[in-house]
Amino acid sequence: MTEANSLGEWQPDRNLAMELVRATEAAAMRATPWVGRGDKNAADGAAVDAMRRFLSTVNMTGTVVIGEGEKDDAPWLYNGEVVGNGLGADCDVAVDPIDGTRLAAEGRAGALSVIAVADRGSMYDPSAVFYMDKLVCGPEGVGVVDIDRPIGDNIRALAKAKGVDVSDIRVAVLDRPRHDQLIADIREAGAGTRLIMDGDVAGGVNAARWDSRVDLCVGIGGTPEGIITACAVKALGGVIQGRLWPKDDEERARAIDAGHDLSRVLEANDLVSSDNAYFVATGITSADFVEGVQRRGPFLRAESIVMRSYSGTIRHITSDMDPSRWD
C-alpha cells in the first residue's frame, strides 16, 4: 500500500487507516441496536452489510483473505472477494465485523468490529485450519517467552522481565473446557487468570499493550483472529507465537496436504510478512482499550483505535454520528 510522492519515490499511504475506520465505525453502529437482544446472527448480519458498503468507498484494491464466508458461511466479505474502489494499491484484507458475536448478542463487554490490512500476499494462509494455539504479550516478552516452554516458566520469565511479582501477572484465557488444565497450571504457578467468554482479538491486543491490565494471552483460539492480532502486535512491538491446531483428523490431513508443518511455531512476521500493516477496531460493547457505542442525545458515539506497524503509530478516534441521517 504505497503512493508516489513528487519525486516519484514510493512511500506508505498514511491515509488508508483513517479511511478504514469509517468501515469499522459503520459496522459497530449498525450492530448496536442488536446488542443484548440475543440474536447474534442479526447483529453480525447488520455489521457485515455496513462494513461491506463502506469498504467499497476506500481507496484500495483489496482482496479478502480472512473473511466471513469461510468461518460463518456468510454470503458477503467471503475469502477472495475484492473490496475497495479499485483506485489504491493491492492489499490483503482481514475482516471481523464482530469479534465476539455472542458478547454483542448477550450485551457483554468486549465486542469489537475489526479490520486488518497489509500489502498484497503478505498475510498467512492457514488453509482452513480454523484454530491455533497462541501466546501473546507485550514488548517485555521479546526474547523472553516461548510457546514451547511450560506456561509456569513463561509466567516467571515474564514477571522477571517486567520487574513484578508472579502474583501480579494476569493471563487471559478463553473459558473453554479444553483449557481446564492450562488454567490450573497458570494458577499453580501463582499468577491470576482473566477468563474471557469470546473476543479472541481483544484478548490478544490487550496482552500486547503496555498499559493493559492483562500481561499474557494464551490458549487455543481462532487462526484468523491470530493473523488479525499479529497486525496489531507488529505496531505495538509485542510478541505473538502460534502453532496450527487442527480440530480433527480431517482438518489435520487437509493441513498436511497443503504443506503445513504442524509443529512449526509461527511468529508475527510469519503471520503477516509486511512491515506496512494496519489494525483498526471500533468498540461495539466496551473493551479495555476502547469504549462501546453510546447514545449521546441525538448522536451515537463510537470510539476506535487505529494502529500502523510501519510507524508504530497508535491513534484513538472518537466520532459522533446522527443515525437519522443514515440512508
Task: Summarize the annotated binding site for substrate as residue ranges.
Answer: 99-101, 131, 176-178, 198-200, 222
Angstrom distance (rounded) from CA 85 to CA 22: 14
Q: Give which of 224, 204, 223 is closest to 215, Cα–Cα.
A: 204
Which amino acid is present at 183? Answer: I
Element (H, E) at 180: helix 180-188
Rounded to whole angstroms, what are the CA distances from 204 to 138, 212, 239, 255, 268? 10, 11, 10, 24, 12
Q: Cα 34 to chain center, whole Å?
A: 22
Rounded to whole angstroms, what are the CA distances from 103 to 69, 287, 325? 20, 11, 28
By the 10 Å C-beta count (0-12 exposed, 13-18 middle, 19+ buried), 210 is classed as exposed
Angstrom distance (rounded) from CA 208 to CA 313: 14
Angstrom distance (rounded) from CA 124 to CA 224: 9
- Rounded to the nearest 10 degrees, the angle between the axes of helix 180-188 and helix 151-162 is 50
Q: Which residues are annotated as a binding site?
A: 44, 68, 96, 99-101, 131, 176-178, 198-200, 222, 225
Q: Which residues are annotated as a binding site for Mn(2+)?
A: 44, 68, 96, 99, 225
Q: Which residues pair with 123 in a beta bridge?
A: 272
